[in-house]
Structure 1
Amino acid sequence: MDFSLTEEERQTRDWARNFVQREIMPMEPEVLRRERAHQPGITADELAELKNKARRFGFWGIQTPEEYGGMGLSAVLASLIEAELGHSFVPFRFGGSADNILFHANQEQQREYLLPTIEGERISCFAITEPGAGSDLTAIRTTARKDGSDWVINGEKTFITGGNEADFTMVFAITDPGKGVNGGVTCFLADRDAGWKSEYIDTMGQWGPAALVFDEVRVPERNILGELGQGFALAMQWIGRGRYLLPARAVGACERLMELAMQHARNRVTFGQPIADRQAIQWMIADSAVELEALRWLVLSAAWQVDQGMDSRQAQSMAKLFGGIKANEIVDRMLQIHGGMGYTRELPIERWYRELRLLRIYEGTDEIQRRTIARNLLKGHVSVRGFLG
């Protein structure tokens, strides 16, 4: 097996690494200061400037197909770039992307929604989770009834990423209760101007999701994404679009956290010795290094399977589950190595501590991943011998 990168892949990865170190990390002190003053850590103008700066060097639409102006990079390379972004807690992603299900849009919808989203002129959000339907997507209650040439949507969505900033949403609603989720749920493209409202949800981290309220919101029939009644299949495609990218970002965060902790351990002296010489500290470093390496290869294996066109759902669930658990254990150890200073807000470790906790909940909880993994094994869909058989 050849695990090496091509020269082009290495150069692309290194460019992203240098961009993070040169343009993003210097912003960290100011981002922390703003967040602690209950202000947005990074402004929309600052985000746009960073994205445009990267675009001037051709870094735009990492996984967006080339025919839409993107780079069309592989899943493996995308995971490596995501890990580089994870080295900083500044909430930044390269521009030029759009939700994968937007590529199902017809030509008119592509002109109105897909292409402006890729260009950064419009902002979307994916709205399926409801107060009574989190991981159980079959329990959604939002409805859409036909009224002439329009559909009228009523219901509430919750924990919607980007819902406060979006100017349109891909909202899922029941259009035929008698058919259940497979045939009775439809995805609509709903502009904010149509009347839906968003409310900010305060969380323990910097993730600021939204609750969306639809009260007699009218959408024209031409705004159905995909086909009438086939929304659930689109939702499953969106959810499985790139689950490996979440633990990929955690790989970068854990690398940075370990680097900070090892530097501290070398410099912190107690009883005449650096704490790096203490076996207790060394074991925390060793355990974290082993777990980080295992996580890295779980992520890369899942990404490689995506590139090969294989069914990667099991691999992605394993990477997501292991990544959430181990990232939380690693950040806890790195905080412990810093002692009392790690618990203060003078250092960014406590911020990572809060942020990484989310990885065990959103886009599929630990419990859902375990259910998926076990079910696939028990039903014989996959083997304990892995994809090598």
Structure 2
Amino acid sequence: MIDFSLSEEQRQVRDTVRAFITREVLPLEETVLRNERAARPGLEPGALRELQQKARRAGFWGLTTPEEYGGIALGPVMNVVLEMELGRTFVPFRFGGSADNILFAATPEQQRTYLLPTIAGERRSCFAITEPGAGSDARNIRTRARRDGGDWVISGEKTFISGGHEADFCIVFAVTDPQRGADGGVTAFLVDREAGWTSSPIPTMGEWGPASLYFDDVRVADTQVLGEVGDGFALAMQWIGQGRYVIPARAVGAAERLLGMALDYATVRESMGYPIAEYQAIQWQIADSQIEIESTKWLTLHAAWRAERGLDARHATSIAKLTGAVMANQVVDRVLQIHGGIGYTKELPIERWYRELRVLRIYEGTDEIQRRTIARNLLKGHVALGAIGE
């Protein structure tokens, strides 16, 4: 039997988060818009920390962090449910107490230096794999790390790195054995900014603030290798895999919020003597949006369900990520169209959503890469048509 219900405890967690977002986060949207339009950070670091501490006092800290590290380890399914709630606002807020999932592969000493301070909010990390010539094709990275005595010397450039200009250390992936390629030839390193790498921000059409990172013979000790030498690509795919079901979860929350705005507007805006909600052209846009949101919601929960049970979730997460990215862009476009001219102005936040959601179709694997992955899995027999719960 298939049970689509949440337990009583899960509903209480969801409702508490929804109340927190409504009470503490949504009221900040006007401030965020005002700051961003004045070319300032939407939410200052101090304000973000204060908000995270409020959430911590409410019991929300380290949602995906194992209990032995002070988290509550809700698991992928509840993580998706809560990310849908967080997606209802464009305020750049995330619950604190978490770290990149691959940092748990760190040695005890590395955990004391990087993992635990990151969980505590004392340090900021970034994940650096994308390069000017290696975006979706992560196997094509050219950044090199060569041995020099007991050290490694890293040279190369990374680009479009989220949080790269603010981070004080990075998880950087470099080729350590060109003969072996990605499978066995790429290694992950933990590199402090003090080691000598630099960064510069990249202006974008939205509020996503990526950066370019530069490594000019940056020297790190052998103790800075994360995991094993040559296992970097596997770690990178582990990191990316988690993002591919978090992204569509946020897309669902954003799309539901936007569709709610369209419903409200359509019932009060009149044209030719009638509310525009009575016209079929508007009704169909509303209906199509709801269908696509619900489809994405269940595809995303299915991907998280597979991950939670230790099943191979890669195919399911590609489907969810592709569907969610396309859905969010279609919904925000319809919502802007329903609002007409006022939707195109900065009087309403729709244009801000429009710019923010566009990047979903690019990062963590473009639409084209997801389609390639899905087709390849079918053509090579990695997944079977008609399978249920397998």
TM over 0.5: yes
- C-alpha distance in structure 2 between counterparts of 1:160 and 1:225, whole Å: 19
Matched, 1:230 2:231: yes
Helix, strand or coil: the match of 1:52?
Answer: helix
Q: Which moved more, 1:173-182 or 1:183-192?
A: 173-182
Residue in structure 2 matched with residue 341 of structure 1 by the alignment: 342
Counterpart of 2:364, as a letter, is E
Counterpart of 2:370, as a letter, is Q
Helix, strand or coil: the match of 1:179?
Answer: coil
Helix, strand or coil: the match of 1:73?
Answer: coil
Residue in structure 1 matched with residue 173 of structure 2 by the alignment: 172
Residue in structure 2 matched with residue 205 of structure 1 by the alignment: 206
Matched, 1:147 2:148: yes
TM-score where L is the length of structure 1? 0.98
Residue in structure 2 matched with residue 5 of structure 1 by the alignment: 6
Residue in structure 2 matched with residue 126 of structure 1 by the alignment: 127
Residue in structure 1 matched with residue 20 of structure 2 by the alignment: 19
Runs of 4+ in 1 over 3 A off after TM superposition: 386-389
- C-alpha distance in structure 2 between counterparts of 1:232 and 1:130, whole Å: 14
Cα root mean square deviation, aligned: 1.0
Give the drift of 1:270. Answer: 1.6
- C-alpha distance in structure 2 between counterparts of 1:52 and 1:166, whole Å: 20
- C-alpha distance in structure 1 between counterparts of 2:184 and 2:389, whole Å: 36
The answer to whether the Cα contact below 8 Å between 2:243 and 2:364 also exists between their aligned partners in 1 is no
Counterpart of 2:96, as a letter, is G
Counterpart of 2:43, as a letter, is I
Residue in structure 1 matched with residue 101 of structure 2 by the alignment: 100
Give the drift of 1:384. Answer: 2.1
Residue in structure 1 matched with residue 221 of structure 2 by the alignment: 220
Matched, 1:324 2:306: no
Give the drift of 1:386. Answer: 3.7
- C-alpha distance in structure 1 between counterparts of 2:243 and 2:38, whole Å: 34
Structure 1: 5+ residue runs without aligned partners? none
Residue in structure 2 matched with residue 42 of structure 1 by the alignment: 43
Give the drift of 1:146. Answer: 1.4
1:335-364 alpha-carbon deviations (Å, 9 max, x no partner): 000000000011010111111111100000
1:105-155 alpha-carbon deviations (Å, 9 max, x no partner): 010000000011111111100111100011111111111111222111110
Counterpart of 1:291, as a letter, is E
Helix, strand or coil: the match of 1:253?
Answer: helix
Matched, 1:243 2:244: yes
- C-alpha distance in structure 2 between counterparts of 1:153 and 1:378, whole Å: 38
Counterpart of 1:307, as a letter, is E
- C-alpha distance in structure 1 between counterparts of 2:197 and 2:324, whole Å: 35
Give the drift of 1:387. Answer: 3.5
- C-alpha distance in structure 1 between counterparts of 2:262 and 2:348, whole Å: 11
Gap change, CA 1:199 and 1:387, over 3 Å in 2: farther
Helix, strand or coil: the match of 1:158?
Answer: strand
Give the drift of 1:179. Answer: 2.0
Helix, strand or coil: the match of 1:55?
Answer: helix
Give the drift of 1:269. Answer: 1.3
Give the drift of 1:304. Answer: 1.0
- C-alpha distance in structure 2 between counterparts of 1:147 and 1:307, whole Å: 42
Helix, strand or coil: the match of 2:244?
Answer: coil
- C-alpha distance in structure 2 between counterparts of 1:26 and 1:368, whole Å: 37
Residue in structure 1 matched with residue 288 of structure 2 by the alignment: 287
Give percent identity, aligned residues only.
66
- C-alpha distance in structure 1 between counterparts of 2:74 and 2:146, whole Å: 41
